[in-house]
Amino acid sequence: MVSKMGVLKFLSRNMTSFVAQASRDNAILTLARHQSVLSSKLVYSEYGDPPKVVRQEKEELRKPAEHEVMIRMLASPVNPADINTIQGVYAVKPKLPSIPGNEGVGEILDVGNGVTDLKVGDRVVPKLNAWGTWRTHAVCNADELMKISDKIGIVEAATLTVNPCTAYRMLKDFVPLSEGDSVIQNGANSAAGQNVIQLCKAWGIKSVNIVRNRSDIDELKKFLTELGATYVLTEEELRTTDLFKKGVLVRPKLALNCVGGKNALEVMRHLESGGVMVTYGGMSREPVTVPTSALIFKDITVRGYWMTRWSNENANSPERSRMFEELTNLIIERKLNPPKHTLIGFERYKEALSNAMSTKGFVGMKYIFDFQI
C-alpha cells in the first residue's frame, strides 16, 4: 500500500509541476501580448479598377492604449459595395488612402486597461461602414466593435452585418407583417434576396420571388424553393400570373426592389392597396417610375432603404442588439444560412477582386478572405 506521506509527496510534485507549467504559459502569453504585431493590409490611394489600384502593405502595430483593443481578423467578404467604393461610384467615399472592407469578423488579442466590455478571445464585428476589414490585424477604440456569439461559424459571422441585417430591417420597419401575409421581391437570387426568403419562411410569411430568365432557370427555381421560397417566377411569368386573381395568395403588402426600371413597375402593380415598395438597389441602372394611378387610386407608398444609414444612426441602439440576437439564434437553429461562398487566402487578393467583379451563374459566389489560410 502507498502511504499517506507518499501520496502527499506525489501530489506535491505534480502540483508544483502544474503551477510551473502554468506560470511558463502565462509568461509566454504575456510576452506575446507585449511584442509588436506586424499587420498586412490592403490599401488604395485613388479610385479605379480594384485589381489595379489596390495594393498590399505591412504595418507594425503598437500596443493598445487605455480604451483600445488589438484584434486579428478571421474572415472578411468581398461585397459589391466594397468594389463600388474602390471604384468611386458608391455613396460612401472614405478619405484616401483607405483600407477597404465593410464587413468581417475578428478576435480580440489584447485590451487596454480601460476596456471593460471586451476581453481577449471575444469575437467582434465592426459597428460602422468603411471600417477597413481587409487587414490581418488592427488596433482601434473598443467602442468601434460589437461582440458577437462564438456559437456561429466564421463565415456566418463574417457575413452577418450587411445582407441578413438588410433583409431583417426591410421586413420589420415598413409594414406590419403577420403570419400568412405575403411579400414580393425582385432580385430574389441576390444575397439579400436569399436572406429575405429565409426570414420569411422562419416567420411564416409567404414570399413571391422574381428572377431573370436564364438557361439554368429550373435549377435556380429549385435552389430558391429549397431555401424556403413560396413561389419563384421569372419576369415574364410575373406579367401573366394569376396567383393573386384566383385568390391563391393574398396580394402582398410589401414589395422589395433592388432592380428598378420595368421590373420594379411590374412588381409594384401586384401590391395591395396601401402597400409599400422599398427600393434598396438599382441593378438595372434604370429609374423607378411610379404611375399616377398607383399613387391616387391604390395609395402606394414608395420608400428607400440604405443599411449603412440605419447602422450609423443605430450603432449602439437596443434595437440593433435585439436584431443581432435574433439573427444569431436563427443561424444557430439553421434557419438562416450563409451565401454560397469561396474561401480564399489574403495573399490572393487580386484573384479575389477579379473574380468578385466577374462572378457568373444564377447565384453569385461570394469571395471571403480567410486570414487563417
Q: Which residues are catalytic?
A: 90
d(CA 63, CA 69): 8
| Pairs from 220-223 (Cβ < 8 Å, separation ≥ 24) | 220/189, 220/362, 220/363, 223/189, 223/362, 223/363
CA distance 251 to 247: 9
Contacts for 72 with CB less than 8 Å, ≥ 6 apart: 106, 107, 109, 136, 137, 371
CA–CA distances in Å: residue 253 to residues 190, 222, 240, 271: 21, 25, 20, 6
Tell me the torsion sign for CA atoms 163, 164, 167, 170: negative
Q: Rounded to whole angstroms, how far apart are CA atoms 311 and 199?
A: 20
Q: Which of 303, 181, 172 is nearest to 253 (CA)?
A: 181
